Structure 1
Amino acid sequence: MKKIILFSVGLLAAISSNAQMKPESTEWYYPQPPKVIPAKVLNQPPSDAIVLFDGKDLSKWVSTGGGDAKWKVSDGAMVIVPGSGGVSTKEYFGDCQLHIEFKSPAPEKYNGQNRGNSGIFLQSTYEVQVLDGDNNPTYVNGMVGSIYKQVAPDVDAYTKNGEWQVYDIYWKAPVFGTGGKLESPAMITVVLNGVLIQNNYILKGDTPYIGFPKYEAHGRLPLMLQDHGTAVAFRNIWIRNL
């Protein structure tokens, strides 16, 4: 009974306090959010984005093995040269919004994980799978749109081979404290072709091919694109620091 009375007194006090307030008591005007000009064309970068590939050159990228990026630029796309190794951005990133488009090469005789395979590695560590999803069965936590070996996409939004696929990725980087202790895990939201396929998924760690995920302390790191042996093409890559 005593708890109920105390709750009732508190509620009445709150109601009384609200009744005496003015609307402007809960309004604030500063600081003003910075103005960002959205693009007039769908999927193009807004005014505060860093354009990582504009269809012309690989000046924002290096080879993951060191030296200049060894992929080729063809018809406004950066195309994997199989066997040349992955590419990484020169700039380092943490929390970000990433837009990137990809196109799977002709299937030829490839199937499963060997068909149109690449990967988008946030902070060089956490992979969003790139794969041909056109009538190409594989393990679902390795299909296109998966967080590799951790979770399948909620739905399959891949269209068909030979068409450009559009990823919009929203990344919350993990936070590490003293001694490398994990204070906050990574979280990701992924939209493929306008369809939400990963909704604020909390990562269990990195995305290894063999074994279980784990976290190792790190800071800002490059964005990396994987060479998995097929000529996947990428275009219209831009990123916003958050």
Structure 2
Amino acid sequence: MKKYILLGCGLLWMVAAQAQNGKWQNLFNGKDLKGWKQLNGKAIYEVKNGEIVGTTVLKEPNSFLATEKNYGDFIFEVEYKLDNDFNSGIQFRSQSKADYQNGRVFGYQMEVDPSARRWSGGIYEEGRRGWLYPLDLNPAAQNAYKPNAWNKYRIECRGSEIRTYINGIAASHLVDAELPSGFIALQVHGIGNKQEDAGKHIRWKNIRIMENPPASQYSPYDTIYVVNNVPNTVSEQEKRNGVRLLWDGVSTKGWRSAHKATFPEKGWEIKDGTLSVLPSDGGESTNGGDIVTEEEFSAFDLEFDFKLTEGANSGVKYFVTEKESGPGSAIGLEFQILDDAKHPDAKLGAAGNRKLASLYDLIPSYKFTNSHKKIGEWNHGRVVVYPDNRVEHWLNGHKVVSYVRGDNIYKALVARSKYQKFPNFGEAEKGHILLQDHGNAVSFRSVKIKILR
């Protein structure tokens, strides 16, 4: 009899769990904060007129009203309104652990950012990696936020795929496997000692979630840019967008030595999904030498992850024609890869045009706060060449260089550079993509390309 009762309870529990999956559930009952708990700072959270109201408090760190339950795959919706413009966000798949910064909340955050940069709807990782999807990557969503009005946020999480929407507009699309589940939380951002920001309010209502929703409940695929942090993979949306791997993560297929027919016999290593230059004497192409794609490209969106060692120098070049010969690296436009603090090349050139992510010896890169990762961490580089010859360099989600290949300004810069001796430098109709051997240990992965037409 006891066995029968336990089995019956188990079946009832399973039926109840299944009933929740694929069904909308309210996370806020409109009366009190049952099912929620406050973490970190001591901002004020209270219920008024069927809304949760958060109020800023002086000298308190970021405060979070978190669900007591964790969620993995789900669709989440909430409406919010700012009484005054200030920063906030919706945490999801987030954690608070005693052994991590004394319980500091960390995890994904759908940003509420009414400032001039207009990044509301982007994805930030609170307490750890920082910006994962800044809205510079999707300018079409930067006008979706409505000031002094109710805004509707939607978050979709399915496995490693994360998508956000603001007022029905696709804002960000992230593929990331770091946090498979965690709590949801409403943030009141800390204001420090700013008296003028004390007592500001943010309001939330119509808070609901659908756990383990069927595929039919997710939004249809769109065409916005995808940030994919899972190494050497191409997501389904990336494929639809025309993205493919340029290096397969396991072999030398599609690559060869510059000016040669085969891949270098030494100086490069493929291991654990990374393609690495082995350290030698610090000279240009004196060990294994540069490697280039077998294909040539005209207009494209190139992406790559790279990791520097201390004092290292390397580069990713494009429009490499191999028409020039001589010692050193093959000639081409270069996305500079450099330890700016420890390599002497950072102090050469003009106005910092040999620093990380610069168009080497021509245009210095703009340095954003937190745009550079620490030495030994992976960075994400991107070079976009449009059919009309506009070119952009991106570093960790920030556009840091912009120019027009072949215009008068470009020609003037070339005329004052080390490249002035090469006729029509960088203006070829098409060329190879090159990874540079500069004699220092540097690693690459997730090398991808999309052809632009």
TM bucket (normalised to shorter chain) is 0.5 to 0.7
Task: Give the alignment partner of residue 195 of structure 1, picking from 398, 404, 411.
Answer: 398
Query: Partner of 1:147 in structure 2?
Result: 359
Deviation at 1:159, TM superposition (A): 1.4
Task: Give the structure with higher Rg (CA).
Answer: 2
Please tell me whether residue 52 in structure 1 is matched to residue 246 in structure 2: yes
Deviation at 1:135, TM superposition (A): 5.9
Deviation at 1:209, TM superposition (A): 6.9
Query: Partner of 1:210 in structure 2?
Result: 418
Cα distance between partner residues in 1 of 2:255 and 2:445: 13
- Conserved in 1, the CA contact under 8 Å of 2:362 and 2:417? no
- Aligned residue type for 1:117: N
> Relative to 1, partners in 2 of residues 1:41 and 1:121: Cα closer, same or farther, differing over 3 Å?
closer
- Conserved in 2, the CA contact under 8 Å of 1:133 and 1:158? no
> Relative to 1, partners in 2 of residues 1:41 and 1:142: Cα closer, same or farther, differing over 3 Å?
closer
- Conserved in 2, the CA contact under 8 Å of 1:133 and 1:160? no
> Relative to 1, partners in 2 of residues 1:149 and 1:88: Cα closer, same or farther, differing over 3 Å?
same
- Conserved in 2, the CA contact under 8 Å of 1:168 and 1:192? yes
Runs of 4+ in 1 over 3 A off after TM superposition: 35-45, 133-137, 205-209, 211-214
Q: Which runs of 5 or more residues in structure 1 are unaligned?
A: 1-34, 108-114, 174-183
- Conserved in 2, the CA contact under 8 Å of 1:165 and 1:193? yes
Structure with greater contact order relative to length (CA < 8 Å, sep ≥ 6): 1
Aligned residues: 188
1:156-204 Cα deviation digits (max 9, x unpaired): 522111000101221136xxxxxxxxxx7x4311211112211x31242
Please tell me whether residue 67 in structure 1 is matched to residue 274 in structure 2: no
Query: Partner of 2:319 in structure 1?
Result: 123
- Conserved in 2, the CA contact under 8 Å of 1:134 and 1:159? no
- Conserved in 2, the CA contact under 8 Å of 1:133 and 1:161? no
Cα distance between partner residues in 1 of 2:390 and 2:299: 10
> Relative to 1, partners in 2 of residues 1:235 and 1:93: Cα closer, same or farther, differing over 3 Å?
same
- Aligned residue type for 1:95: A
1:81-160 aligned at under 5 Å gives the runs 81=278, 82=280, 83-105=287-309, 107=310, 115-124=311-320, 125-134=332-341, 137-139=346-348, 140-155=352-367, 157-160=371-374
Higher strand share: 2
Cα distance between partner residues in 2 of 1:143 and 1:231: 17
Query: Partner of 1:5 in structure 2?
Result: none
Deviation at 1:89, TM superposition (A): 0.4
Cα distance between partner residues in 2 of 1:209 and 1:57: 36
